[in-house]
A and B are shown apart, each in its own frame.
Chain A
Amino acid sequence: DSGVTQTPKHLITATGQRVTLRCSPRSGDLSVYWYQQSLDQGLQFLIQYYNGEERAKGNILERFSAQQFPDLHSELNLSSLELGDSALYFCASSSSGTPFNEQFFGPGTRLTVL
C-alpha cells in the first residue's frame, strides 16, 4: 500500500458528460501528479501540482483540468467526455517538487466512457 488513495475505483459514464476524480497524497507529500494509462497511448504524464500551485503540464487536453486544495488533496476534472478518454487514471505523490524523487502511485481510477 503506497499511502496514496484514489476515488472512485471505477467510473462508467456517457459521452459528453463530466466527471471528477479524486486523489489524496501520502501524508506530508506536497506534490501530486496525474497520469493517464491507455492501451494505445501508454502511460502519459498529464499535470503536476506542488503545494497548491500548478508546477508542470504534460499532454493534458483543454477539456481536462485539475486543482490541488489547501489540504493537499487533488481533483482531476474531465469534461465533454469522448470514447477515447476511457483509460486508467493514476495519481502519484512525492515529497518534493522535482519529479526525480520517488513518486508513490495510487491504485488508479478506471474510467469507461460509453
Chain B
Amino acid sequence: AQSVTQLDSHVSVSEGTPVLLRCNYSSSYSPSLFWYVQHPNKGLQLLLKYTSAATLVKGINGFEAEFKKSETSFHLTKPSAHMSDAAEYFCVVSDRYGGSQGNLIFGKGTKLSVKP
C-alpha cells in the first residue's frame, strides 16, 4: 500500500535561512510525488510534482525537491525563507497501479513558521 510520512509536524526557521521539509514515501510501483501548500483559510496549491522525469524538480516561489529512490525520500527545500512562506505543506503520493487507483495520498502536513 502507498503511504507518505512527513517527518516533522512543525518546522520553524528565521527569514532568510534555508528551509528543509522532509518526506518519505512508500510505494510498490513508480510513484508520482507532489508537494502542496495550504495558506491559512485557503485551499491547497500545487508547489511542484515529480512524475519520473528529472529527479530534481523545481517549483513555484523558489521551492525545489529531489526524488531519491534509494532513500524513498522527496524532501522539499528552499535556499532562503520568506515571511510569506509560512503555511502548511503536504507531501503527496500517487501510485498509478496501486490500490489507491492512482488517487492522491496525503501526508499529515508540516506547519512552517518563519520568524522575522
Contact = CB atoms under 8 A, between A and B. Distances in A.
Is B a genuine binding partner of A?
A: yes
Interface of A: 2, 4, 33, 42-45, 48, 56-58, 90, 92, 98-100, 102-103, 105-108
A100 B43 contact: no
A32 B91 CA distance: 21
Contacts of A4: 43
Given A103-B46, A107-B43, 19 more contacts: A42-B106, A42-B108, A44-B106, A45-B100, A45-B103, A45-B104, A58-B100, A92-B44, A98-B102, A99-B102, A100-B51, A100-B94, A100-B102, A102-B46, A103-B104, A105-B36, A105-B45, A107-B41, A107-B42
Contact of A2 (B43, B51, B96): B43
Contacts of B43: 2, 4, 90, 92, 105-108
B104 A99 contact: yes
The winner among A2, A33, A43, A90 for most chain B CB atoms within 10 A is A43
Contacts of B101: 56-57
Contact of A58 (B32, B44, B51, B103): B103
The winner among A44, A100, A108 for most chain B CB atoms within 10 A is A100
18 contacts: A2-B43, A2-B45, A4-B43, A45-B106, A48-B103, A56-B101, A56-B102, A56-B103, A58-B103, A90-B44, A92-B43, A92-B44, A98-B102, A99-B94, A99-B102, A100-B49, A100-B96, A102-B46
